[in-house]
Amino acid sequence: MQIEPFALERYFARYEFTARYLASCSDCDGLALEELLTLADDQARALWRDLRLGYTESLGHPLLRAEIASLYEGAAADDVLTGAPEELIFLAMNCLLEPGDHVIATFPAYQSLHQIAESMGCEVTRWQPDEGRGWLFDPEFVRANVHPRTKLIVANFPHNPTGALPSRAVFDEVVSIAHERGIHLFSDEMYRWLELDPGQRLPAGCEVYDKALSLSGMSKVFGLAGTRIGWLVTHDSALLARIAALKDYTTICSSAPSEILALMGLRARDRIVTRHVERIRHNLAELGQFLERRADLFACVPPRAGTICLPRLLGEVSADLFCRRAVEEAGVMIVPSSVFGWGDRHVRIGLGRAGLPEVLAKLEENLARTRF
Ligand SMILES: Cc1ncc(COP(=O)(O)O)c(C=O)c1O
């Protein structure tokens, strides 16, 4: 397959470990191993102590699959396949799609959610939010664009990079469209459980539709990106078996230590997630004050969930130029919207890292000396 470079990943590869300050990360700070071990229950600690570093079960450790299933209403361990989240997108798209198929996908997006289909020779219709209406994803767009060749709807709610979270009515409408047509719904839920108002949490796709696949993982919500553990949950067992069979050509199975660490993280989820949501709230308040002080430069639709938001630069300021100057002059790495192939007016700010207030202070200092 010929595939475009993953622009966001290339951007991070360039700056993540060289820039002094990171303002655009989408994960929460990685937990320290020591801390995770202290949060672990007796069973998981014993599994860690007695762990042997061989291959693991290719569908995932049975205890991990059971723990994941318990996160979803109506799911059983057999409905779960583990893998790295990015890997699971790749595998699922390859199993779901053929050249010439039509796909409707939320856009801008984590690139693989549309790029893999495009590179396979599918036609992808980009479902874009309306910033003027609070990053509204209008389901009427999906209804108007679905047609007999449409094989798949790809939704990512809470949304990267806007922080949008549609209402239950919007989500239900998308599910209904998929259901009426009997097509699959790939529901990327990597930021689910990080709603600022938990009352607005959407159901998981797999909880409401048998042909939905819910994707989630340890990276964003749980601060355990380094485990590279994620999962797909679906009641479509034939499809899950095909995806699992394709995984024999990628990683075969997950890393043994990672599975146990992920189990520990999931079992301590209440404490971990509460802390992360508190941090996001705090960072959002700090960001709000910063944006207010620089209202001459930015406008921002507040995020409703997840770890990121997407302020707009006012006037004619180029996001590429803004980000280049931030990293070169102040050592602050910020992701411009061009990395998502989506214009040159927005910048992504990450809210999941404890150091964000300090990073914003550095940026503000630099902006005070900068003219655009
Ligand atoms: C929406 C979305 N889906 C999937 C992924 C992939 O997750 P991971 O990096 O854990 O493989 C990301 C990562 O940024 C993401 O933002």
Question: For 237-289, how does the pLDDT look when each residue is reduced to its tens digit (9 = 90+)?
Answer: 999 999 999 999 999 999 999 999 999 999 999 999 999 999 999 999 999 99
80-83 and 21-22 beta bridge pairing: unpaired
Mean pLDDT, the chain, integer: 97
Q: Which residues contact 237 (CB under 8 A, 6 or more apart)?
A: 78, 79
Give one word for 71, left, alpha or beta, with left for phi > 0 and alpha for psi -120 to 50: alpha
Q: Tell me, what's the pLDDT at 274?
A: 98
Count of beta carbons in the 10 Å neighbourhood of residue 209: 23
Q: What percent of the chain has pLDDT over 90?
A: 98
What is the pTM for the complete model shown? 0.98
Q: How far apart are CA 223 and CA 276, in angstroms?
A: 8
* Domain 54-268 annotated CATH 3.40.640.10: yes
CB 217 within 8 A of CB 231: yes
Q: What percent of the chain has pLDDT over 70?
A: 100
Q: Is the shortest distance between the CB of 188 and ligand 1 below 6 Å?
A: yes
Q: Tell me, what's the pLDDT at 275?
A: 98
Q: Tell me, what's the pLDDT at 372?
A: 77
- Sign (positive or negative) of CA dihedral 65, 262, 359, 335: negative
For residue 118, what pLDDT band results from cuts at 50, 70 and 90? very high
Instruction: Extract the tokens encoding 38.
Output: 């202290």
Q: Tell me, what's the pLDDT at 152?
A: 98
Q: Is the shortest distance between the CB of 110 and ligand 1 below 6 Å?
A: yes
Q: Tell me, what's the pLDDT at 1?
A: 82
For residue 370, what pLDDT band results from cuts at 50, 70 and 90? confident
Q: Is the shortest distance between the CB of 218 and ligand 1 below 6 Å?
A: no
The secondary structure of residue 73, as a DSSP letter, is T
- The preferred substitution site among 24, 220, 222, 310 for testing ligand 1, maximizing ligand atoms within 8 Å of CB, is 220
How far does the centroid of ligand 1 lie from the alpha carbon of residue 52, in Å? 29
CB 205 within 8 A of CB 214: yes
How far does the centroid of ligand 1 lie from the alpha carbon of residue 261, in Å? 19
For residue 337, what pLDDT band results from cuts at 50, 70 and 90? very high
Q: Is the shortest distance between the CB of 166 and ligand 1 below 6 Å?
A: no
Q: Tell me, what's the pLDDT at 169?
A: 98
Residue indicated by tokens 């997108």:
89
pLDDT of 312 above 80:
yes
How far does the centroid of ligand 1 lie from the alpha carbon of residue 277, in Å? 18
Q: Tell me, what's the pLDDT at 278?
A: 98
pLDDT tens for each residue of 142-165 = 999 999 999 999 999 999 999 999
Q: Is the shortest distance between the CB of 87 and ligand 1 below 6 Å?
A: no
Fold classification of 7-32+270-368 is Aspartate Aminotransferase, domain 1 (3.90.1150)
Please state the rounded mean pLDDT for residues 295-319: 97
From the alpha carbon of 84, which atom of ligand 1 is closest?
A: 11
From the alpha carbon of 109, which atom of ligand 1 is closest?
A: 1
Q: How far apart are CA 110 and CA 345, in angstroms?
A: 18
Q: How far apart are CA 256 and CA 133, in angstroms?
A: 46
Q: Tell me, what's the pLDDT at 175?
A: 98
CB 6 within 8 A of CB 115: yes
The secondary structure of residue 204, as a DSSP letter, is P
- The preferred substitution site among 156, 190, 214, 254 for testing ligand 1, maximizing ligand atoms within 8 Å of CB, is 190
From the alpha carbon of 86, which atom of ligand 1 is closest?
A: 11
Instruction: Extract the tokens encoding 72.
Output: 């979803």
pLDDT of 371 above 90:
no
Q: How is the chain split into domains, by residue range?
A: 7-32+270-368, 54-268
Q: Tell me, what's the pLDDT at 272?
A: 98
pLDDT tens for each residue of 36-57 = 999 999 999 999 999 999 999 9
